[in-house]
Chains A and B, each alone.
Chain A
Amino acid sequence: MATLDLQNVEKHFDSVRVIQPLDLSVVHGEFVVFVGPSGCGKSTLLRMIAGLESVSSGTIRIDGKDVTNLPPVDRNVAMVFQNYALYPHMTVEENIDFGLRIGGMPKAQRREKVMEAARILKLEAYLARKPKALSGGQRQRVAIGRAIVKKPKLFLFDEPLSNLDAELRFQTRLEIAKLHQDLDATMIFVTHDQVEAMTLADRIVVLRDGRIEQIGTPMQIYDDPANVFVAGFIGSPKMNFLDASIAAVSADRAWVRIPTLAPGDYECRTLWSRPAVGTEIIVGVRSEHIDESSSAPAVPAQISILERLGSVSYAYVETSHGARLSVERRVQRGDQVGNIIQLQLMPERIFAFAKTGERL
């Protein structure tokens, strides 16, 4: 069993606080992804868990044991770095073997473990090569091999796919997902790529400015974002945000007035609270939650840009009152730039946020 608990963990460099006090519990076998924009502190947090970065205050526990002040080797963690960090003067075999050799394991046993890791990662044919004679994908597999050979309690990945091309990234992503299943290991994965986060994670931790914005399963985060930042960060194209006000409120829903769309009120059924009538808010709606419909209150909008991706197209439209929206188009193959289309927002998919960003 390998669990991870962060309690009130905080980090500051001199006077700059890069990680606000935060709590996080990861259960055994869970795949947790830290996601956030550049500079949000996700890599620092990972390095703190690894033991490469000291903790200013708070406690880190692995399997219940306080490891806050222990070096990485005593935490029994393995880390895969963004730029692989392979030892260039060593062969693939020596690279994978290095940690075991340092740990003083007998040679025969080491060899067996290295071969096993090489077999899992299909690296047998490259064991005698130096890293510079490998492709980017192979190098990344060696880096992963170096991690799995130690059978760590916790795998830490620091943006391991960001140096790979699109095709290889997709493949390696599948390999990591499979590895997670096969090894039954607890993994923490840092990325700024929301697609990686959505596809790999059991749970996503969205970070901004060293603070956790939301923790949840990918679909929880997508379907029920806690604030404007999370709503805007997860999902592509980005969620549409429009200024609005509360026109009426009932027990479980509200009617919002969005002046830049069309006259009339739009029903919102996703409320977390009961905002007062007249409150100025921000309304969020994803592109796939805008349907074509002529029933009231329909919004006429003109297509200004059209992105065709094959299975789906995205129309960037402008309403006569000045709102700009991205709209997913699946079946409407005849769309042309300049066409006027009638749009309808799905009431169960309209999110209301306070002007300060929190979900209402």
Chain B
Amino acid sequence: MIRTDPRPALLARLLLGLMVLVSLAPLLLVVINAFKSHADIVENPLSLPHSLASTNFKTAWTGGNFSVGVINSVLLTGTTVLVAVVFGALAAFPLARRRIVIWKLVTLYFLCSVTVPIQLFLFPMYFLYARLGLLGNVFATALIIAAINLPLSIMLLRTYILTIPTELDDAAFIDGASPWQTFRYVILPLMKPGCVTVAVIVSLNTWNEFLITSTFQQGDAGFTMTLGYHAMAGAMSPDLGIMMAGACIVIVPIIAFFLFLQRLFIDGMTAGTAGAVKG
């Protein structure tokens, strides 16, 4: 039997544990302090709360107008994810499968749209939306955020499709499937993990989005969770307990969503198409 030195593995675990702690500590601090009064936090931010009273959460919920914000955020995120995944997948399929002579140019175009700062488009877009009467419309705002996320979505999904053997397309073609049927019945089901990955990334981006939403979702009725929190910060900034509770309310849904999709997300990052071909 070969005896290996256990020290490197132990050191690695120790380091990983430390990194987890460093990542989670701020979150933990937010949760702990959400149950404390402002005075208690100022006195000792690291102390444990005396009770698990929900007073701070109730005040934050009303102060941040979160009952409106949560609906808007869900609608905004849902629409953005839907548009980014559907159009991303539809664009990625031909980009992955057709021989496109100007592929390098297309890539460059996508890269440009990722790197050029959005602020450049903000004001023309604002005036356009104002003229069309679309300000405060979550679905219209979702289109802008989806457009910003689309290049990355297309690139990720295209890379994912490239891992699916082209023989499957050939087999479907031989079976009489049109390109659309090949996409719908063969490629799309196999892309599911890739689509989930894109959905998670886009939903995180959208949920936490501030610049676009603060520009286009004006007025109390248009507030998202982040905008509500921002407004609350202005009005209630002296009370740190309420601020912490508000932060919890904003992040809990997205963490729950991520945990729900975590398994599929990791599958998406690592999946191949086992069983499709030889094995």
A and B part of one assembly: yes
Closest chain A CB from B135 CB (angstroms): 43
Asked if B176 and A72 sit within 8 Å, CB to CB, the answer is yes
For A143, give the chain B residue with the smallest CB separation.
B171
In the complex, which residues of chain A have a beta carbon less than 8 angstroms from the beta carbon of B278? 82-84, 136, 139, 163
For A164, give the chain B residue with the smallest CB separation.
B278
Task: Say yes or no: is B185 at the interface (Cβ < 8 Å to chain A).
Answer: yes
Asked if B181 and A78 sit within 8 Å, CB to CB, the answer is no
Task: Say yes or no: is A50 at the interface (Cβ < 8 Å to chain B).
Answer: yes
Task: Say yes or no: is A229 at the interface (Cβ < 8 Å to chain B).
Answer: no
CA distance A146 to B173 in the complex (A): 13
Asked if A88 and B276 sit within 8 Å, CB to CB, the answer is yes
Closest chain B CB from A244 CB (angstroms): 46
CA distance A211 to B120 in the complex (A): 59
Task: Say yes or no: is B165 at the interface (Cβ < 8 Å to chain A).
Answer: yes
In the complex, which residues of chain A have a beta carbon less than 8 angstroms from the beta carbon of B275? 86, 88, 130-133
The answer, among B165, B185, B279, for a CB contact under 8 Å with A85, is: B165
> Number of residues in B with C-beta < 8 Å to the partner?
23
Task: Say yes or no: is A309 at the interface (Cβ < 8 Å to chain B).
Answer: no
In the complex, which residues of chain B have a beta carbon less than 8 angstroms from the beta carbon of A316? none
Asked if B165 and A102 sit within 8 Å, CB to CB, the answer is no
For B273, give the chain A residue with the smallest CB separation.
A88
Q: Which residues of chain A from 136 to 181 have any CB-CB distance to chain B below 8 Å in the complex?
A: 136, 139, 146, 150, 163
Closest chain A CB from B207 CB (angstroms): 30
Task: Say yes or no: is A259 at the interface (Cβ < 8 Å to chain B).
Answer: no
Asked if A77 and B279 sit within 8 Å, CB to CB, the answer is no
Closest chain A CB from B117 CB (angstroms): 41
In the complex, which residues of chain B have a beta carbon less than 8 angstroms from the beta carbon of A89? 189-190
In the complex, which residues of chain A have a beta carbon less than 8 angstroms from the beta carbon of B174? 50-52, 72-73, 77-79, 99
Closest chain B CB from A112 CB (angstroms): 18
The answer, among A82, A88, A98, A136, for a CB contact under 8 Å with B175, is: A98
Task: Say yes or no: is B5 at the interface (Cβ < 8 Å to chain A).
Answer: no
In the complex, which residues of chain B have a beta carbon less than 8 angstroms from the beta carbon of A85? 165, 167-168, 170-171, 276-277
Task: Say yes or no: is A87 at the interface (Cβ < 8 Å to chain B).
Answer: yes
Task: Say yes or no: is B74 at the interface (Cβ < 8 Å to chain A).
Answer: no
CA distance A229 to B40 in the complex (A): 91
In the complex, which residues of chain A have a beta carbon less than 8 angstroms from the beta carbon of B175? 73, 98-99, 102, 146, 150
In the complex, which residues of chain B have a beta carbon less than 8 angstroms from the beta carbon of A86? 171, 275-277
Task: Say yes or no: is A39 at the interface (Cβ < 8 Å to chain B).
Answer: no
Asked if B277 and A83 sit within 8 Å, CB to CB, the answer is yes
Asked if B276 and A87 sit within 8 Å, CB to CB, the answer is yes
Task: Say yes or no: is B186 at the interface (Cβ < 8 Å to chain A).
Answer: yes
Task: Say yes or no: is A126 at the interface (Cβ < 8 Å to chain B).
Answer: no
Most-contacted residue by chain A among B176, B189, B273, B279 (CB, 10 A): B176
Task: Say yes or no: is A222 at the interface (Cβ < 8 Å to chain B).
Answer: no
CA distance A79 to B273 in the complex (A): 21
CA distance A61 to B181 in the complex (A): 27
For B168, give the chain A residue with the smallest CB separation.
A85
In the complex, which residues of chain A have a beta carbon less than 8 angstroms from the beta carbon of B273? 88
B140-165 near A? 1/0 per residue, CB < 8 Å: 00000000000000000000000001
Asked if B171 and A87 sit within 8 Å, CB to CB, the answer is yes
Asked if A81 and B173 sit within 8 Å, CB to CB, the answer is no
Given A50-B174, A51-B173, A83-B167, output 4 extra A-B contacts at Cβ < 8 Å. Answer: A52-B170, A72-B173, A81-B171, A83-B165
6 A-B pairs closest in CB distance: A132-B275, A73-B176, A99-B175, A83-B277, A85-B167, A85-B171
